[in-house]
Amino acid sequence: MSSIALPRERTRARSPYVLGGLAALLLAAALLGLGCGALRLGAGEVLGALGRWLAGRPAQGDDMVVLMLRLPRVLMAALVGAALATSGAAMQGLFRNPLVEPGLVGISAGAALGAIGMIVLGGGLLAALPALLGSFGVALAAFGGGLAATLLVYLIGRLRPGMATLLLAGVAVNAVVMAGVGLLTYLATEHQLRDLSFWTLGSLGGTDWVRLAAVAPPMLLPVLLLPRQARALNALLLGEHEAALLGFDPARLRRRLVALVALATGAAVAMCGVIGFVGLLVPHVLRLLWGPDHRLLLPASALAGGALVIAADAAARVAVAPAELPIGVLTALLGGPFFLWLLLRTRIGEAAA
Amino acid sequence: MNPPLDWRMDRAPRGLLEARDVTLDGGGRRILQGVSLRAWPGRLLALVGPNGAGKSSLLGVLAGLRRPSRGEAALDGRALADWPAPQLARRRAMLSQNVRLGFAFRVEEVVLLGRSPHGERLRAADHAVAAAALAAVQAAHLRGRSYLELSGGEQQRVQLARVLAQVWNSADGPAWLLLDEPEAGLDIAHQHLVLRHARSLARRGYGVVAVLHDLNLAARYADEVALLAHGQLLRHGSPAQALEPATLSRVYGLPLRRVPLRDDDGWLLAPAP
Amino acid sequence: MVALGGDITEAVYELGAGAALVGVDSTSQWPDAARKLPDVGYVRQLAAEGVLSLRPSLVLATHDAGPPQALAQLRQAGVRIETMPPTRAPADVVAKLRRLGALLGRPAAAERLARQLEGEYAALARDVAAMPRHPRVAFLMTAGAGSPMAAGRDTAADAAIALAGGVNAVHGYAGYKPVSAEALVALAPDAIVLMRERADALGGVDGVLRLPGVAQTPAGRARRIVFVDGQALLGFGPRNAAQERALQRTLAAAAP
């Protein structure tokens, strides 16, 4: 990075502008998300539908598509993106490693195991439930699996002090859980395998107001609460001892962060499958642009993550219309090369230092 | 320009930092054995001793970072374990060895991290403190640079500025600076700069405890020297008392003698011929 | 009208209602005309808006079309969805056809086709009854890279083999599972059935014979490698009967 003369008190002065700009970006993405889809609707129709809805007037024409299909989906995308990106930023800060994903503490793998276990082994249970409730059964199993895996990682990580143990516990639990996923994949039927691909590739398909309402609280709460840990996270970047010397409690901070991240990511993965790279990519780009200060990074990640997932989902909906691409394919397609670039860039940076 | 230091020196008994019969175990071995040590504000105390003597561990105990297996450390006569963490953080700051910061904060942001214990939001006063702390370590010109672009020595000075900023202008009583090898990685000019500054802070009422490897720096700048070996406190006194060549020779396993300086009444420690 | 499921699409075309289709799912590969229609994606991962964008008044769906939320959203949008029950027996295949005929307003054509299929299934049953011996059959869904996936109990392939007078050699497990070369030899199938869609990739009969273990089976020694039209046979749509009869004839001729 070139050294340029920076204006005085950059972060403080810039924060409102950065957050305002990102909020505008999120709004623009939301309008884009509402405006495009397999069904071609003019801007007038979309805005008209929203207007009639807000004014409480009866729906007409294709209003239902905008209000029942696109609007909950755009809101879900915003929430999922915000949850994943904020969680990613927090995890990267906690582990003092910009290459960490929220899945590192076992959440994604655990959720996938829960979902897949329910799909493959819970057939009888699911069949006993009404179809709509059955799909919630899978989400609930995913949520439970994510929290259980995270708890396991956390408990193992507590056996010895330090972030390294937590990190290694995450790697180990992930490996074991993925072996379980492999075993279940082996047991799965052809049809179940197709359902499983949903979990590994992610999709916002099937979002409706009920599902949105069900997962909004566990995603929104961490997005709103994580920024309150920003100062502690900043201090933690210096190291656990330094954070403790500055009056923070690293153990309590770690407990809180892991709980909030597990809640947010678990809910996101449970409802929409594994949407990769958002948690890695968004905080990283923002850090390159505006520095690592978590007081700006966490809320900015929420806004930018929401905008990114809305845009990716819109692309997933129109790319092969009337069919849909799994959104994870798009984010990985974007994220893979970026990750590589990041890796190379980091190496070069280390060599120069 | 430094903001004025406004604590009142007439409350002298306040501010005493002490280790009371501290024993520390860790990693299956005894690190410190029954160490009792009193450090007074207004003085620079150097902890010296061979590698593995327990100097850094003792500093960690005095900072409240490590809890002794037996005994306790206390500030103002109150055990460190009983202090609320943020309140303690406003009274003592510690510079650890090798603080690794892998994120591209600007230098001023790093120094402002030291102001964390002083309130949720940064105020103009905090920025003034950060600027003064940077100036104190002759690093004011680095303020807008990215921390990752700095040389090792520059990073060390910025970390020292952060630690200074943490207890700058402490209002609740004499503040403590605990420095773990503050001279490490610095060139000779900056080594002397840092220790001269540490001593001038002591003159202005700060308590300073520094782990020093260089016995001659300790002899030159410290008001008191504590010599540790094998987790025990061997000597504590003026540099002339504590840095006694026969004891040092035994402790370090290297024959040492004092070489008088011609133009000064001081001396240097050097290996005996 | 949108058809979801290869068997449904086949029936719609066989009943002469293909012109009314505005979209199909990705499993609808026959006839060629169906492949030119907009594709709404995999039948179990439908997107409500994608289907809606084709503005269908009626959606004919196979039993495992989904996910349920997408179907619920379609119903909410006022689209009529008719879901067909799963079929793996001749009577069900014919019943499904009659029901589709009624829904499409073509009961006469459906009745004609149903009678014809009933005749074919009856002939098939006679031929099977006349077989002196029922050969052991292994149905390999995929082969080539890694161990081949063989169809076990409770699969469409298992039902199709039984209907054609064969005995599924793979009865130790349910569903599709990889079998090792050794296991394949131990199963000792008299015939190995594969999907014609994969024939070229495998290198035809000779390619299959080169797969590990195949040459050591009775099927391999006698070169009894059979390629079938997978969708027509396993979809249990209107083309199933003809495929079953062709398979039966091959198995009868191949009987050791």
Q: Quote the CA–CA distance of A237 and A239 in Å, as a whole number.
A: 5
For B65-119, write each residue's pLDDT tens digit. 999 999 999 999 999 999 999 999 999 999 998 888 989 999 999 999 999 999 8
Angle between helices A294-319 and A71-94 (to 10 degrees): 140
For residue C231, which of C136, C127, C125, C160 has the smallest C-alpha distance? C160
Bridge partners for B26 per DSSP: B29
Q: Do chains A and C touch (3 or more CB pairs under 8 A)?
A: yes
Query: Which of A2-16, A71-85, C223-237 is least confident?
Result: A2-16
Query: Which of B130-134, B140-144, B207-211, C140-144 is least confident?
Result: C140-144
In chain C, CATH 3.40.50.1980 covers: 2-84, 136-254
For B243-272, write each residue's pLDDT tens digit. 999 999 999 999 999 998 887 778 899 998
Within a domain: residue A224? yes
Label residue A215 exposed, middle or buried (CB < 10 Å: 0-12, 13-18, 19+).
buried
Mean pLDDT on A97-117: 83
Q: Name the 3-class secondary structure at C38.
A: coil
* pLDDT at residue B10 is higher than 50: no
Look up the pTM and report it.
0.85
Give the count of domains, chain A: 1
Q: How confident is the model at residue C97 (pLDDT cuts 50, 70, 90)?
A: very high
- Given a contact as 3+ CB pairs under 8 Å, which chains touch B? A
DSSP for A260-271?
HHHHHHHHHHHH
CB B49 within 8 A of CB B229: yes
CB A38 within 8 A of CB C53: yes
Q: How confident is the model at residue B13 (pLDDT cuts 50, 70, 90)?
A: low
For residue C73, which of B156, A303, A71 has the smallest C-alpha distance? A71
Domains with residue ranges and CATH for chain B: 17-242 (3.40.50.300), 244-273 (no CATH)
Q: How confident is the model at residue B4 (pLDDT cuts 50, 70, 90)?
A: very low
- Given a contact as 3+ CB pairs under 8 Å, which chains touch A? B, C
Within a domain: residue A8? no
Q: What pLDDT, on the 0 to 100 scale, is given for residue A127? A: 62
Tokens representing B95 are: 């510079």
**Could you tell me the CATH number of the domain that includes residue A335?**
1.10.3470.10
Residues of chain C with a CB closer than 8 angstroms to some CB in chain A: 23, 26, 38-42, 44-54, 64, 67-70, 72-73, 76-77, 141, 175-178
Residues of chain B with a CB closer than 8 angstroms to some CB in chain A: 63, 65, 85-90, 93-94, 96, 99-106, 109, 113-114, 116-117, 120, 122, 127, 144-146, 148-149, 166
For B201-234, write each residue's pLDDT tens digit. 999 899 999 999 999 999 999 999 999 999 999 9
- Is domain C136-254 annotated with CATH 3.40.50.300? no
Q: What pLDDT, on the 0 to 100 scale, is given for residue A126? A: 61
Q: What pLDDT, on the 0 to 100 scale, is given for residue A31? A: 94
Q: What pLDDT, on the 0 to 100 scale, is given for residue A207? A: 86
Fold of C2-84: Rossmann fold (3.40.50)
Q: Quote the CA–CA distance of C2 and C103 in Å, as a whole number.
A: 13
Q: What pLDDT, on the 0 to 100 scale, is given for residue A133? A: 62
CB contact under 8 A, C69 and A208: yes
Within a domain: residue A283? yes
Q: How confident is the model at residue A130 (pLDDT cuts 50, 70, 90)?
A: low
Looking at CA atoms only, how far is residue A353 from chain B in angstroms? 7
Q: What pLDDT, on the 0 to 100 scale, is given for residue C110? A: 95
Q: Are strands B256-260 and C149-151 parallel, antiparallel or unpaired?
A: unpaired
CB contact under 8 A, C41 and A191: no
For B20-74, write each residue's pLDDT tens digit. 999 999 888 999 999 999 999 999 999 999 999 999 999 999 999 999 999 999 9
Within a domain: residue A40? no
Q: Which of A242, A248, A252, A295 to mutate to test the interface with B (most CBs of B within 10 A)?
A: A242
* Host domain of residue A271: 85-290+323-352
Q: What pLDDT, on the 0 to 100 scale, is given for residue C82? A: 95
User: ipTM strictly over 0.85?
Assistant: yes
